[in-house]
Structure 1
């Protein structure tokens, strides 16, 4: 049995423009979706009611059983609203667990003229903070939140 580190349910300040309504998928839910390898589209998320979205943020997703239950619940919700089965991630590259700063994070920091993140700073972040920086570094994610996250995590004053 695999048990992942328990991740406290929390929302970041850089998510404050949507967290009250949960119109976008917050990092805590993205982390849990990646954990159970479910690819949830924003259009699917938008169909869920607020209580379902809030439950996905709060629902535990640490032990093998919890991960399975989380994935099953997401599948049920997507089916309920779309009559489709959500896609699964082919592979999971958890760059946020590495002890070195992923290249994509370094590149995004350089792009935004943010300070270089040292390995010790990287390891000083918690898993959800590292996850957020990796996700914000990847294409398809709202890049303007990267410098906001860097500042929130104490890695930059302003980029």
Structure 2
């Protein structure tokens, strides 16, 4: 099921189902919020939180006010953890996944290798979360482990 704009903040993809429930990995909907909030949260930070708290982060809003609150919350929450406080990153702005137009070369190349064509029209038709997922899964140096499943899910 494709996430609409209202639900993309807490939408988990079917291909993520192996860790939904126990939250052993940071789902892409949370990773998107972290990028939008300008926060680097380590997997060790995530795993140090109880499952209920991780679920709360999945359900956390993604409007501007909620993202500011998320950044503050995570910095305070991680301050005393062994890996130290979550760090600041530049807040995502004008990233390829945040806009239509031409899909990024890494995404089109990786998709083509799997038999998918990412035209500008296809790219524009995707939700921001779907574009985010494809950008993250297709980035250079990534193992592209879930890319085929992601493409199959967003282009049924």
The bucket for the TM-score relative to the shorter chain is: 0.7 to 0.9
Q: What TM-score comes out, normalization by structure 1 length?
A: 0.84
Q: Does 1:41 align with 2:34?
A: no
Q: Structure 1 80/141 Cα, relative in aligned 2: closer, same or farther at 3 Å?
A: farther
Distance in 1 of aligned mates of 2:9 and 2:99 = 20
Q: How many residues align?
A: 149
Q: Secondary structure at the match of 1:19?
A: coil
Which consecutive unaligned segments of at least 5 residues does structure 2 have?
none
Say if 1:55 and 1:142 are closer, same or farther in 2 by CA, change over 3 A.
farther
The aligned counterpart of 2:145 is 144
**Once superposed, what is the RMSD of the aligned Cα atoms?**
1.9
TM-score by length of 2: 0.85
Going from structure 1 to structure 2, the CA distance change for 1:49 and 1:142 (only over 3 Å counts) comes to farther
Please list every run of 5 or more consecutive structure 1 residues that lacks an aligned counterpart in the other structure: none
Q: Taking structure 1 as reference, are residues 19 and 141 closer, same or farther at Cα in structure 2, changes over 3 Å only?
A: farther
Which has the higher relative contact order, 1 or 2, with Cα contacts under 8 A spaced 6 or more apart?
Answer: 2
| 1:31-84 Cα shifts (integer Å, max 9, x gaps) | 100010101111211111101100101011212x22210111111221243372
1:102 aligns with 2:104: yes
